[in-house]
Amino acid sequence: MKKYLLFVILSVVMISSCEKNINLDLPPIDQKVVVEGYVENGLPPYVILSRTEPYFDPIGQNTINNLPVRGASVYISNGIDTVKLTEIDTTVNGVSLGGFYVALDSVTFLPTMIGTPGTTYQLSISTNSGEQLTASALLPMPVPLDSTWFKVQEDLDSLGWAWARLTDPDTLGNSYRWFAKRLNKDDFFIAPLGSIFEDRFINGRSFNFPYNRGEIQNSEAEEDNNEEAGFYKKGDTIVVKFCSTDFATYEFWRDAENQVSSNGSPFAVPSNVKSNITGGRGLFATYTASYDTIIAN
């Protein structure tokens, strides 16, 4: 036993003597403008502008205040008309949040442009700091679902998934994204992990597919932290928002979801999320939405 204890002590001493503090001198990172822009059928386009922050920098009140890009000139064109988006300054929990631009008249707050399927939209941004950003995206024609329904999953008594049947048009290059919300339970539409897909392997086919219930990240709701997590249940009224998207939107969310799903995995291959923004980062996305309602029973 004495020999064993002596061996352990010597091993600890040897290991501790090999430790060395390593201080990394990280180079300064140039801030980039981040664009989160959307054009959706029947709605005015909007854009959220912010700036990147160094990954290891502390986050405080000043960081939050400096993230939004205020006072930018943001224009959207549909090939016929060009409109300047109005900046809306909102306050959340006492924090002024600028950087939100929407196609509304600054006086009447009526829409100055509405998303129309089959139209290509051009985005142009000029910031007070001199950055110039551009993007282009097609708002595709709608591809509605054939039908939707609820099905109890395997041996569960009342919990299950939302199902749908889709007939993909016989034209390669269609992309889709799934959102859903429960009436009187969810405040907004939620996209579950794996919400985005394209038709490379399903072109021109009709098929059935399920989706689990999406959850808000770090949700503290009881149903998101027990056996009901990821499931709908009997009695739910589910509104499905099924969107046709352009390919750049598909690529962005495919990469983003891959990053989320592989987070923490030692075997994951790091990669950059693709962007369709020239002069900055982020996404100028298009969604042509159609809606269905499922009564879970």
Model pLDDT for residues 76-87, shown as the tens digit of each residue: 999 999 999 999
Residue 240's closest CA among 147, 153, 156?
A: 147
Q: How far apart are CA 193 and CA 182, in angstroms?
A: 17
**Cα four-point dihedral sign 274, 275, 279, 282:** negative
95 touches 64 (CB < 8 A): yes
Model pLDDT for residues 270-296, shown as the tens digit of each residue: 667 899 999 999 999 999 999 999 999
State whether residue 236 is helix, strand or coil: coil
Position 93 pLDDT exceeds 70? no
Measured between its terminal Cα atoms, the distance across the chain in Å is: 67
* Burial class of 93 by CB neighbour count within 10 A (0 to 12, 13 to 18, 19+): exposed
Q: How far apart are CA 103 and CA 88, in angstroms?
A: 10
Quick one: average pLDDT of 218-231? 90
Q: Domains in the chain, ordered, with CATH? A: 33-139 (2.60.40), 147-217+227-271+287-295 (2.60.40)
Which helix (H) or strand (E) is 4 found in, with range?
Answer: helix 2-17
Place of tokens 């490379």: 200
Its pTM stands at 0.85
Place of tokens 């291959």: 269
Model pLDDT for residues 7-62, shown as the tens digit of each residue: 555 555 555 555 566 666 666 667 899 999 999 999 999 999 999 877 666 666 66
Q: How far apart are CA 165 and CA 252, in angstroms?
A: 25
| Structure tokens given for 103 | 């196609």
Q: What is the percent of the chain where pLDDT is above 70? A: 81
